[in-house]
Structure 1
Amino acid sequence: MQIMLTNDDGVYAYGILALAKALQAQGGHQIHIVAPDREQSGTAHSFTFLTPLHAEPVRLEGLEKGDAFGVSGTPTDCVKVGVSNLLADKPDCIISGINHGQNLGIDTTYSGTVSAALEGALLGIPSMAVSLVGSMRKLGDKKQAYFDAAANIAAALLPRFLQSGSLLWNVNIPALPQEQIRGVRFTPLARQIYDGTYVEREDPRDRRYFWTPVSVHYTHDTQTDCDIRWIQEGYIAITPLVQDMTDYPALQRMQNEAE
């Protein structure tokens, strides 16, 4: 199977390498990595059209076979240029990740990881976004072990995803020892909002600037079935997504009123 990997943490991030190694261990896959040449978290579904893109081959230690490119653009750029120009053949699937941190609820609208998978789905390619939920700082020297475990889980989920008939999955895996993960839950996204607080400071030239905190607290309602809840309870949370943002009930009402 031809599998293209991308992310928003950058081509040298450990999560994408762990995923490549887990897929190679399965055998039968040809791995192509096309990822940003630098951190692109929070770039959502933006793409580059005012400046040219550069794609340079890179060497990743531990990637035994396959190829890797660092692209001077967003995750969406990586999918577009990877499929149209860098890969000889259209990939059978795209996996975006493993993201260094969660993509739950409203995070999906900001996420470069999820948006890269969305771009793949728009191109008709089954695409899965995978994120490891936990504080990267707190994981410390155990971080790589958790990424390796998450990569094995993602690789094991791939056949189930491809047989599901869905073009787009958002997968969040809790950073827990594998024996403590309680199972898989298919669940809707949480409805939550960030608290919106920015830290205000002055730079050395007395100009105000605003910076969102690294750890942003957010609230969500009392949904009994949502991705945040199941992650908190130790489950892998999977949400099938669609690219069509039409509000069909509202559309139907307006069409009826116009008749």
Structure 2
Amino acid sequence: MKLLISNDDGYFAPGIQTLFNALQALPQIETLTLIAPDRNRSAASNSLTLLNPLRTQLISESSDQKISQYSVNGTPTDCVHLGVNGALGFQPDMVISGINAGANMGDDVLYSGTVAAATEGRFLGKPSIAISLCGHQHFATAAHFFLKIFNSLEQLRLSADSILNINVPDLPITQIRGIKITRLGRRHASEAVVTQLDPRGLPIHWIGPAGVAADAAEDTDFHAVEAGYISITPLTIDLTHYQTLQALQQWAHLFDDYVGQS
């Protein structure tokens, strides 16, 4: 199997390096390529770099060229796009994004560069998984359970329009209580912008912290992680709100008499 891994924290981040090292131990891995931003690009979402050239830099490579690391002066989506669309001269069988430092649950998935990297893989026809550690300490825990999940994927047929979003509690391996299949929860609005003055007395602004969970019901990712369980949420790429289609179609008939009129 040929794997491409990426993230939004940067190629040097401890999460992706822990995953990169762990995956090398799997006998079924034929090629393992890490391609990730050259700096932290958290919350880059699905942005692509279109007006500037992208540069890949080889960071390390095994003697047989089957295990390699690259950095890119772009976004997580750029990295996966380059990796799948020919910049590295191979076609991965799967895209894995992470291990992210910090949770990607609820509304956060819309901003997340980690989830966006997996989404780009799915857009390009590759089964894709995003994995995040809900903290900054126990990356080995996330890697340990990811390998177990990965080794069982042959028993799961992923839908062609979905990715798996995994969130792991920031706990030692022995304190993880299990795995729960969840839906996305929902946060309250983020807290207020933090305004300060720079050394020249000019105002600067920081985006406020994320809001607390507004929907953390028992079947949500928030609830599972808080209770010590690994959360796995299937995310669909199709954002169409199908329940509203019929009502909109009826509403649109109001404009039928205006078609062709000046």
Give the alignment's TM-score, normalised by structure 1: 0.89
Once the two structures are superposed, the pairs formed by residues 142-221 of structure 1 within 5 Å of their partners are: 143=137, 146-162=138-154, 163-166=156-159, 167-213=162-208, 216-221=210-215
1:179-215 Cα distance to aligned partner (Å, 9 max, x none): 21111111100021333312111112222111135x5
User: Is the 8 Å Cα contact of residues 218 and 224 (structure 2) preserved in structure 1?
Assistant: no
User: Is the 8 Å Cα contact of residues 106 and 193 (structure 1) preserved in structure 2?
Assistant: no
Q: Which residue of 1 aligns with 2:21?
A: 21
User: Is the 8 Å Cα contact of residues 188 and 211 (structure 2) preserved in structure 1?
Assistant: no
The whole-number CA distance in structure 1 between the counterparts of 2:117 and 2:96 is 9
C-alpha displacement of 1:222: 5.1
Mark the structure with the bigger radius of gyration. 2
The whole-number CA distance in structure 1 between the counterparts of 2:250 and 2:92 is 42
> Identical aligned pairs, as a percentage?
41
RMSD, aligned α-carbons: 1.9
More deviation, 161-170/41-50: 161-170
1:9-29 Cα distance to aligned partner (Å, 9 max, x none): 101111111111211112121
Which of 238, 243, 249 is residue 237 of structure 2 equivalent to?
243
Give the alignment's TM-score, normalised by structure 2: 0.88
C-alpha displacement of 1:154: 0.9
Name the count of aligned residue pairs: 247
Structure 1: gaps spanning 5 or more residues? 137-142
**What secondary structure does 1:38 align onto?**
coil
**What secondary structure does 1:28 align onto?**
coil
The whole-number CA distance in structure 1 between the counterparts of 2:234 and 2:97 is 14
1:121-178 Cα distance to aligned partner (Å, 9 max, x none): 11110000000012x2xxxxxx3xx212211211221244452323410000111111
| Structure 1 moving runs of 4+ over 3 Å | 159-162, 256-259
Distance 1:176 1:73, change over 3 A: same
**What secondary structure does 2:200 align onto?**
coil
Structure 2: gaps spanning 5 or more residues? 254-262
2:5 equivalent to 1:2: no
Which of 203, 209, 217 is residue 223 of structure 1 equivalent to?
217
2:67 equivalent to 1:73: no
The whole-number CA distance in structure 1 between the counterparts of 2:142 and 2:2 is 21
C-alpha displacement of 1:78: 0.1
